[in-house]
Amino acid sequence: MLIKECIICGKEFTISKSRNNIAKYCSRDCQHKGITGDGNARYWLGKKRNSIWNKGKKLHYDVWNKGKKLHYTIWNKGKKMKKVPWNKGIKMSDEFREKMRVIKTGSINLKIRAELHHNWKGGTSPLRKSIQALQLYKNWRHSVFVRDNFTCQECGVRGGRLQVHHLKAFYEIIDEYKIRNIDDAKKCDKLWDLNNGKTLCVLCHKETDSYLINQHNKNKNI
């Protein structure tokens, strides 16, 4: 640490070596006095100055490239850039159109599923998530929404964040019918029974006994 003397009040103050050539003032008040020459350091706070100190003054140096021209020509000077599609005028084959249709409709590529996929880890996903990832489950869920006209069957609100509530709990069906894998789930008719599903909004679904957190608390109390 170094000791320096304030150029305004003469008070000594300590600074680090890195600020030896920068520090001049012991406080912000002295700094303001040194910059503005005003005895009150807060005089100009919130006030606007009527004049700008360099208004109308010319620069004391010349701009280095003033009046100079580039020593090279711009390759696209005066040209209009047109973005032409790469496939303009090219007719797509029926085979290519079918491939694009399959990609856009979200069809599953069966060639890279399960063990054939590079991220396969031996089937570590819980059975519940694996069943809910099935297209069969998504179709069942959508059919329940359509039947109930996308309306919560408790509060009557239509649209928004809707969920399907199982009248007979999902985990109870798995335990009762001894479902151990995906093949067992596909064969279980109770899982795909539309009468076992009911459309609810998120708030109404959280009030049911078979909701995830309520199910956990119920088992914990037992």
Question: Using an 8 Å Cβ cutoff, are 214 and 206 in contact?
Answer: yes
Residue 127: partners with Cβ closer than 8 Å, 6 or more residues away: 174, 179, 180, 181, 185
Mean pLDDT of the chain: 80
User: What pLDDT shows up at residue 201?
Assistant: 92
E-strand ranges in 40-117 read: none
DSSP 60: S
Structure tokens at 108: 């599953």
Top-ranked range on mean pLDDT: pick from 34-48, 51-65, 71-85, 175-189? 175-189
For 89-142, what is each residue's pLDDT tens digit? 888 889 988 888 877 776 566 667 667 777 777 666 688 888 888 899 999 999
pLDDT for position 222: 37
Separation of alpha carbons 34 and 10, rounded Å: 12
Query: What's the pLDDT at 152?
Result: 93
Structure tokens at 92: 């797509």
- pTM for the full predicted model: 0.45
Nearest residue to 42 (alpha-carbon basis) of 51, 52, 33: 33
**What 3-state DSSP class applies to 15?**
strand
- For residue 147 the two structure tokens come to 């039947």
Separation CA 55–CA 122 (nearest Å): 75
**What residue ranges in the chain does DSSP mark as E strands?**
2-5, 12-15, 162-166, 197-201
- The first and second tokens of residue 107, run together, are 């069809």
Query: Is the confidence at residue 200, as pLDDT, over 90?
Result: yes
pLDDT at 38 (0 to 100): 58
DSSP 3-state assignment of 12?
Answer: strand
